[in-house]
Amino acid sequence: MNQQRRLETLVEVAKHTGRQVSAAFLKRTASFIPGIERLHNLITGIFKPAWSNYALSIVIKIDSPYDHKDEVIFLEDGRWLMTYSPRAGGLNIPDNRALVKCMDERIPIAVFKQMTEKSDRQYGSTYLVLGLGVITSYDPSADVFIVESVDQSALEEVTGVIADEETRYEVQLYAKLTNEFQPFVEEERATYTVSAPKREEAFRHLVLREYECCCAVCQMKFRLIDLIEATAAHIVPKHKKGTDDPRNGLALCRTHHWAFDVGIFSLDDEYRVLLSQKVKQAETRNFGLLSLSEQRIMLPKTHILRPHPEALEWLVMTTKK
């Protein structure tokens, strides 16, 4: 097996976790990601490329004939678990055998789920990038594989091909986007292989990229190569053990980052600006935030990267105290 090629391919999958992609993206990947021929051929549910003895990816299709095609639950640590039916014909047929090899050796695979069919007039055939998974077992009584999203050790193995610490942590953050959102980090249980300054920079770059370097509140933007005015804010702050999950992030200009941190404004569950009552007591001049009350902020184009409702709920509850 070409291990380097496989890991580099899975890194690219991780970067797209939670995004909805076209059939062409999976079948003709090289047109979107140079150097990667395809992520799946969409002929059968299991894809084993010619250059590997292991399955590279699986897809859950809308018209799947199997009963166990769409069962996803969350584990205690927030990772997802799903069941996946093998192809008819027994575990010794080539496709199923390729999955068994992944299970036996805990080789990660890419997981895609079909969201719309070819006949859909608006989108055509599209697929959710569920992310990277590990086949942990096979249940012969139900005839299903048990697939879990990769744990931290497996994710470290995949992203180990990335030399730059900061980029490695960015990819790890993307890879967890379909996991259950957990607003707080239990630092005593957290294990990091990336230094704190690099983690901070990775969070910053990821959030700014998804907000196109614009302030979500006023949409101001200044970017000159690496000189960017906007900053990345944690909704649940770091000093409250807030997570680096980008769904706990928000791009804000420096003025609005300050105003957000000191409680001059917050956001409701509809992403609207809520001004604090204490603003009425302030002396102001040319303070543009006042005119943005109850206006909806700008959000990332990728839906899953928007501020998570649980983070916003924490913000509202904290503001009320």
- Residue 97: what pLDDT? 95
DSSP class of residue 314 equals H
Residues 231 and 162 in one domain: no
Q: Residue 182 falls within a domain, yes or no?
A: no
* CATH code for position 28: 2.30.280
C-alpha atoms less than 13 angstroms from C-alpha of 21 in its C-beta half-sphere: 24
Per-residue pLDDT of the chain (321 residues; tens, 9 = 90+): 588 999 999 999 999 999 999 999 999 999 999 999 999 999 999 999 999 999 999 999 887 666 555 568 899 889 999 999 998 888 999 999 999 999 999 999 999 999 998 877 777 899 999 999 999 999 999 899 999 999 999 999 999 999 999 999 999 999 999 999 999 987 656 667 788 899 999 999 999 999 999 999 999 999 999 899 999 999 999 999 999 999 999 999 999 999 999 999 999 999 999 999 888 889 989 999 999 999 999 999 999 999 999 999 999 888 765
Phi and psi torsions of 272, nearest 5°: -100, 150
Q: Which long-range contacts (CB under 8 A, 24 or more apart) does 262-270 make?
A: 263/319, 264/289, 265/217, 265/289, 266/315, 266/316, 266/319, 267/297, 267/307, 267/312, 267/315, 267/316, 268/312, 268/316, 269/309, 269/312, 269/313, 269/316, 270/296
- Residue 186: what pLDDT? 78
* Burial group, residue 211, by CB count within 10 angstroms (0-12, 13-18, 19+): buried
Domain end (from 96, 131, 166): 166
Residues 220 and 158 in one domain: no
Residues 280 and 154 in one domain: no
- Residue 5: what pLDDT? 93
- Residue 188: what pLDDT? 58
Number of domains in the chain: 2
- Residue 63: what pLDDT? 75
Residues 152 and 213 in one domain: no
Residues 25 and 161 in one domain: yes
* DSSP three-state, residue 276: coil
The total number of residues shown for the chain amounts to 321
Residues 33 and 138 in one domain: yes
Domain boundaries, position 45 = 3-166
Instruction: Using alpha carbons, select from 144, 151, 115 the residue that is nearest to residue 130.
Output: 115
Q: What is the largest CA-CA distance in the chain?
A: 76
- Residue 280: what pLDDT? 87
Residues 149 and 67 in one domain: yes
Residues 232 and 160 in one domain: no
Residues 14 and 150 in one domain: yes
Residues 70 and 138 in one domain: yes
Residues 146 and 229 in one domain: no
